[in-house]
Chain A
Amino acid sequence: MRPPDPARWASDKVHALGEFTLLTREAFISLFRRRPDFRDIIYQLYFIGVKSQSVVLITGAFTGMVLAAQTYFQFHRVRMDTATLAVVGVGMCSELGPVLTALMVAGRVGAALAAELGTMRVTEQIDALRTLATHPVDYLVVPRLAATIVALPLLTVESVAIGIMGGYLLCRAFLGAYATYAWDNMVVYTGVPDLVTGLIKSIVFGAIIAMVSCYKGMTCREGAEGVGRATTEAVVYSSIAILITNFFLTLTLNRMLA
Chain B
Amino acid sequence: MIEVRHLQKSFGTQRVLDGVDMRIHEGESVVIIGRSGGGKSVLLKHLIGLLTPDSGEVLVDGVDIVHMNERDLIDVRRKFGMLFQGAALFDSMTVAENIAFALRRQQQCTEDEVREKVSEALALVELAGIEQKKPAQLSGGMRKRVGLARAIVYRPEILLYDEPTTGLDPIISDSIDQLIINIRQKLKVTSVAVTHDMRSARRIGQRIFMLYHGRIYASGTAEEIFASQDPVVHHFVNGISEPRQDLLEDF
Q: Do A and B come from one complex?
A: yes
What residues on B are CB-neighbors of A135 within 8 Å? Answer: 70-71, 74
Out of B73, B81, B88, B89, name the residue touching A127 (CB < 8 Å): B88
Which residues of A, 108-137, contact B by the 8 Å Cβ criterion?
120, 123-125, 127-128, 130-135
What residues on B are CB-neighbors of A124 within 8 Å? Answer: 84-86, 88
What sequence of 0s and 1s flags, for each residue 132-145 of chain B, a beta carbon within 8 Å of any chain A beta carbon? 00000000000000
Confirm or deny: B45 has a beta carbon within 8 angstroms of a beta carbon on chain A: yes
Out of A120, A125, A130, name the residue touching B50 (CB < 8 Å): A130
Q: How far does the Cβ of B2 sit from chain A's closest Cβ, in whole Å?
A: 15
Residue on B nearest A132 in the bound complex, by CB: B102
Verify A128–B88 contact, CB threshold 8 A: yes
Question: What separation, in Å, do the CA atoms of A123 and B105 have in the docked complex?
Answer: 21
Which residues of B, 15-68, contact A by the 8 Å Cβ criterion?
45, 48-50
Q: How far does the Cβ of B118 sit from chain A's closest Cβ, in whole Å?
A: 14
Contacts A134-B105, A135-B70: A127 and B77 contacting too (C-beta < 8 A)? no
Question: What separation, in Å, do the CA atoms of A132 and B154 have in the docked complex?
Answer: 9
Verify B48–A125 contact, CB threshold 8 A: no
Q: How far does the Cβ of A229 sit from chain B's closest Cβ, in whole Å?
A: 18
Verify A125–B88 contact, CB threshold 8 A: yes
Q: How far does the Cβ of B196 sit from chain A's closest Cβ, in whole Å?
A: 19
Confirm or deny: B115 has a beta carbon within 8 angstroms of a beta carbon on chain A: no
Confirm or deny: B213 has a beta carbon within 8 angstroms of a beta carbon on chain A: no
Question: What separation, in Å, do the CA atoms of A131 and B91 have in the docked complex?
Answer: 17
What residues on B are CB-neighbors of A130 within 8 Å? Answer: 48-50, 70, 73, 77
Question: What separation, in Å, do the CA atoms of A134 and B80 have in the docked complex?
Answer: 12
What residues on B are CB-neighbors of A132 within 8 Å? Answer: 77, 101-102, 105, 150
Q: How far does the Cβ of B12 sit from chain A's closest Cβ, in whole Å?
A: 11
What sequence of 0s and 1s flags, for each residue 76-116 of chain B, a beta carbon within 8 Å of any chain A beta carbon? 01101110111011110000000001100110000000000
Question: What separation, in Å, do the CA atoms of A14 and B82 have in the docked complex?
Answer: 34
Question: What separation, in Å, do the CA atoms of A87 and B177 have in the docked complex?
Answer: 73
Question: What separation, in Å, do the CA atoms of A134 and B74 have in the docked complex?
Answer: 7
Question: What separation, in Å, do the CA atoms of A139 and B101 have in the docked complex?
Answer: 11
What sequence of 0s and 1s flags, for each residue 145-188 of chain B, a beta carbon within 8 Å of any chain A beta carbon? 00000110000000010000000000000000000000000000
Out of B45, B70, B91, B151, name the residue touching A125 (CB < 8 Å): B91
Verify A123–B102 contact, CB threshold 8 A: no
Which residues of A, 29-70, contact B by the 8 Å Cβ criterion?
none
Q: How far does the Cβ of A220 sit from chain B's closest Cβ, in whole Å?
A: 16
What residues on B are CB-neighbors of A125 within 8 Å? Answer: 88-91
Question: What separation, in Å, do the CA atoms of A128 and B48 have in the docked complex?
Answer: 11
Verify A123–B86 contact, CB threshold 8 A: yes
Residue on B nearest A126 in the bound complex, by CB: B88
Verify B48–A131 contact, CB threshold 8 A: yes
Residue on A nearest B106 in the bound complex, by CB: A133
Residue on A nearest B85 in the bound complex, by CB: A124
> Closest 6 A-B residue pairs measured CB to CB?
A128-B88, A124-B88, A131-B82, A132-B102, A133-B77, A133-B78
Residues of B within 8 A of A (CB): 45, 48-50, 70-71, 73-75, 77-78, 80-82, 84-86, 88-91, 101-102, 105-106, 150-151, 160
Query: Can you list 7 A-B contacts with CB-CB less than 8 angstroms, sorted by A residue number?
Result: A120-B90, A123-B88, A127-B88, A130-B49, A130-B70, A131-B82, A135-B71
Q: A124-B84, A130-B50, A134-B74 are in contact. List 16 more A-B contacts (CB 8 A).
A: A123-B88, A124-B86, A125-B91, A127-B50, A127-B84, A128-B89, A130-B49, A130-B77, A131-B50, A131-B77, A131-B80, A131-B151, A132-B101, A132-B150, A135-B71, A135-B74
